[in-house]
């Protein structure tokens, strides 16, 4: 068991790049993690890391050892977790990352039903509008869109990630008609700034007939959040390009209406991500299957489609 713990300390240190990151994942102190890795190195008779004040770097032997043990370690941990299920029910802490507004609006309302079905799972949900290192940071799953798919991670589509143009009825009543995409160039735009890069993104509009046009608006203000852009647009401040999940409540209430309803931006998919394992933990499988089932039952894919 001591050797198993030392191997886990090594793998987490390699994934996180430091003993401190591994310690946070394992609920240990950095000193304890470092001591455990040092014992492993002594038993193996090789140095696994080159140590510096800022970061750990794997030696050639360390890289080879990591390739050999990381997949097996995960399989063993998942097997132990599944065997620990109470009367065959999934158990354990479920770490999930999701966007703040999307998660609160569409995932948290499902929590009560999820807990009734799986009372032995303890949710540990993180709300953040950025891509996380699913494996390196120890998450069981993540929900989001526009993520690069790292090796060893699986994505299951939940809904298309369409964006639509919206404005308040008052703004449109006081502005020249917008009949074709070229008419947008004279309209005030509420532009979206990427929270990751800080840049204003360029978009291409797609029609229901699969025609393409560049999206050009007269800059009026910038936002880094679709819900904030919806709020600004509802006040008659301009036309905003926003994600459908954020736009739906504003469209339903009549605070905004779609501009050029036959045109939209295809921004890929909103998916649920999880690590690819031969033996997936019961808690993760239960969550993935539940979310896919609930999105289908509530027809969210249809509601979030701009077509």
DSSP for 33-99, written as a single string: HHHHHHHHHHHHTS--EEE-SS-EEE-HHHHHHHHHHHHHHHHHHHHHHHHT-BTTB--EEEEEEE-
Say what the pLDDT of residue 302 is. 93
Q: 230-288: per-residue pLDDT in tens?
A: 999 999 999 999 999 999 999 999 999 999 999 999 999 999 999 876 667 889 999 99
Pairing of strands 212-214, 257-259: unpaired
Long-range contacts of 224-233 (CB under 8 A, 24+ apart): 224/192, 224/193, 224/194, 224/195, 225/101, 225/129, 225/195, 226/101, 226/163, 226/192, 227/101, 229/190, 229/192, 230/166, 230/255, 230/256, 232/190, 233/166, 233/167, 233/168, 233/171, 233/190
Q: Are 59 and 48 contacting, i.e. CB atoms less than 8 angstroms apart?
A: yes
Q: 134-188: per-residue pLDDT in tens?
A: 877 889 999 998 777 777 788 999 999 999 999 999 999 999 999 999 999 999 9
Q: Are 169 and 185 contacting, i.e. CB atoms less than 8 angstroms apart?
A: no
- When pLDDT is cut at 50, 70 and 90, the band that residue 103 belongs to is very high
Q: Is the pLDDT of residue 296 over 70?
A: yes
Q: 21-54: per-residue pLDDT in tens?
A: 888 878 789 889 989 999 988 888 899 998 876 7
pTM: 0.72
Partners of 51 in beta bridges: 56
Partners of 219 in beta bridges: 189
Pairing of strands 141-145, 263-275: antiparallel
What proportion of the chain, given as a percentage, has pLDDT over 70?
Answer: 93
């Amino acid at each position: 068991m001591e050797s198993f713990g030392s191997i886990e300390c090594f793998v987490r240190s390699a994934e996180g790049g430091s003993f401190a990151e591994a310690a946070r994942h394992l609920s240990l102190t950095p000193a304890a993690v470092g001591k455990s890795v040092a014992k492993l190195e002594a038993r193996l008779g090789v140095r696994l890391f080159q140590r510096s004040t800022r970061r750990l770097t794997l030696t050639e032997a360390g890289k080879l050892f990591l390739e050999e043990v990381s997949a097996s370690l995960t399989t063993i941990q998942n097997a132990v977790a599944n065997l620990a299920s109470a009367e065959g029910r999934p158990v354990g802490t479920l770490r999930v990352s999701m966007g703040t507004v999307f998660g609160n609006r569409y995932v948290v309302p499902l929590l009560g039903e999820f807990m009734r079905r799986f009372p032995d799972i303890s949710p540990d949900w993180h709300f953040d509008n950025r891509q996380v290192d699913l494996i390196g940071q120890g998450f069981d799953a993540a929900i989001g869109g526009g993520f690069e798919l790292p090796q060893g991670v699986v994505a299951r589509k939940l809904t298309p990630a369409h964006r639509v143009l919206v404005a308040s009825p008052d703004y449109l009543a006081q502005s020249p008609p917008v009949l074709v995409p070229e008419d947008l160039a004279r309209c005030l735009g509420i532009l979206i700034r990427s929270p990751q890069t800080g840049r204003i993104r360029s978009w291409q509009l797609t029609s229901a007939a699969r025609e393409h046009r560049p999206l050009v608006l007269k800059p009026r203000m910038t936002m880094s959040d679709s819900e904030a852009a919806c709020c600004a647009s509802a006040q008659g401040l301009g036309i905003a390009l926003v994600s459908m999940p954020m736009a739906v409540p504003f469209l339903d209430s009549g605070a905004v209406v779609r501009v050029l309803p036959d045109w939209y931006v295809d921004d890929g998919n909103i998916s649920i991500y999880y690590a690819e394992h031969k033996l997936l933990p019961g808690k993760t499988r239960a969550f993935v299957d539940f979310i896919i089932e609930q999105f289908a039952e509530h027809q969210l894919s249809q509601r979030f489609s701009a077509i």
